[in-house]
Amino acid sequence: MFEFGRDLRKIFAQARESEDLGWVELIGVDLLKIEARREATDAGRVSCPRPFQTEWRAAALWRDHARRAGAADSLARADRCADSLVRTAVGDEQIAVAAVSRAQGLMLRFDLCGDPVHLDRALQTVNAVAPPRKARPAAALSAVHARISARRARLSGEPEALLDAAALMDVARHAGATEDVDLRMDAAMLALEAGVLQRDVRLLDQAGRDLGELVEATSPDHRPLTRARALALCGAGLAALASVAGHAEAQVQGRILFDAAADQFTPDHSPLDWAAIQTLRAGDDALPMMVLVQAETLTQGQGLIVGALARERRGAREVALAETLGDRAGLDTLERRLHARMAAAAPLDWVADQLVMVEIMLARRRLGGPEPRSLGLILAEAAGTAREMGVTVLAERAAALMGRG
């Protein structure tokens, strides 16, 4: 995505030695993988002057590659680097840094593939470490604890758990983690979900202000991915506000923000970010079908949450198109394709296919076909699997289909 001249290469070399890894947003996912491998190799050399720090950087780069590419092997490499940090850590500061690295890997695994057991293990890792004396590692430990707690609270959906998680976010900020972009993003997401759950416009407004500040603070020339993620969350917030308050203008503004997020980078720069934004835009009928096909192609076969969402959105769009055309044969073809691939599908992909299967049943009924059979059972099983995996968005889509049935 970026061409580096002589001066930029010099800046790039200096950035490699910095603890601030924001520069990785400027390089493509393939170059990021090369950088992660280089750091991991250097960490294993006898001649490495700072092996612990180099291993830490390798773990962070492998995590970022996994976050952008959805690569299972990159997640595994990040875990191995974190395990090495845990084994070699000396003193309370390094022990805390190693625990944070391991917890971040487990949290990312949940974010990518679901399964709350990863959050449980991450929380155990953090709780097993005494807070270090130095402020910086103590703030990092507090921040990752707050981010894990936020995810667990959002899964529970309980107002008290959401309040407790928000309090931990405040504690982390006061501990010195004010510059942690991921913490700020998670805090805004927590306020957003709490606002939707409680139908509280004030919380939604607060989330919007927090995200707006983050957008303003991130330059598209220096932090394009952070900016895109914040814009996408702003769009989601406006869509939620439109749903809660019946605000049509907010819905339109949300779509504009989704489009702005998609314009921040190309699909090959961060495939998962791009696919995630397209699934958020999938409700826009003006979005070309080929975009959803590309999003599904980029994420398929890896057991990813984004992959399952792209799979379900693309299938729902195909069903809607066939219904609009009155194409009963087309619906039959879609059903056969689903049956053929469901047996070998990963759990979340199976859930996505079940939801599309129900869409087919409902479309047939609207076209004068028979009343769907076992629709409630299919949706209950799909929703149950989605909840077990901690993917509430798919469970909510199953509930919405139940209402339509």
- Span between the terminal Cα atoms of the chain, in Å: 46
According to the model, what pLDDT value does residue 51 have?
A: 95
The answer to whether residue 122 scores a pLDDT higher than 70 is yes
Tell me the average pLDDT across 156-175. 89
pLDDT band at 199 (very low <50, low <70, confident <90, very high): confident
Q: How many residues does the chain have?
A: 405
State pLDDT tens for residues 380-402: 999 999 999 999 999 999 999 98
66: exposed, middle or buried (Cβ count in 10 Å: 0-12, 13-18, 19+):
buried
* Helix residue ranges, H only, 263-304: 271-280, 289-299
Answer for the pair 237, 280: CB distance below 8 angstroms, yes or no.
no
pLDDT band at 18 (very low <50, low <70, confident <90, very high): low
The answer to whether residue 187 scores a pLDDT higher than 70 is yes
According to the model, what pLDDT value does residue 319 have?
A: 96
State pLDDT tens for residues 211-258: 888 888 888 888 999 999 999 988 887 777 777 667 677 778 888 888
According to the model, what pLDDT value does residue 206 have?
A: 80
SS3 for 130-184, per residue? CCCCCHHHHHHHHHHHHHHHHHHHHHHCCHHHHHHHHHHHHHHHHCCCCCCHHHH
127: exposed, middle or buried (Cβ count in 10 Å: 0-12, 13-18, 19+):
exposed
According to the model, what pLDDT value does residue 388 have?
A: 96
Average model confidence (pLDDT) across the chain: 89
- Domain spans of the chain? 180-287, 293-405
Q: In Å, how far are 268, 281, 311, 365 from 355, measured between CA atoms?
A: 29, 19, 10, 16
State pLDDT tens for residues 53-108: 999 999 999 999 999 999 999 999 999 999 999 999 999 999 999 999 999 999 99
Find the largest Cα–Cα distance for the chain. 74
According to the model, what pLDDT value does residue 387 have?
A: 96
Q: What's the whole-model pTM score?
A: 0.91
Answer for the pair 235, 258: CB distance below 8 angstroms, yes or no.
yes
According to the model, what pLDDT value does residue 208 have?
A: 80
State pLDDT tens for residues 252-305: 888 888 889 988 888 999 999 999 999 988 877 778 999 999 999 999 988 999
The answer to whether residue 118 scores a pLDDT higher than 90 is yes
Q: What whole-number percentage of the chain has pLDDT above 90?
A: 63
According to the model, what pLDDT value does residue 176 have?
A: 78
The answer to whether residue 11 scores a pLDDT higher than 60 is no
According to the model, what pLDDT value does residue 16 have?
A: 59
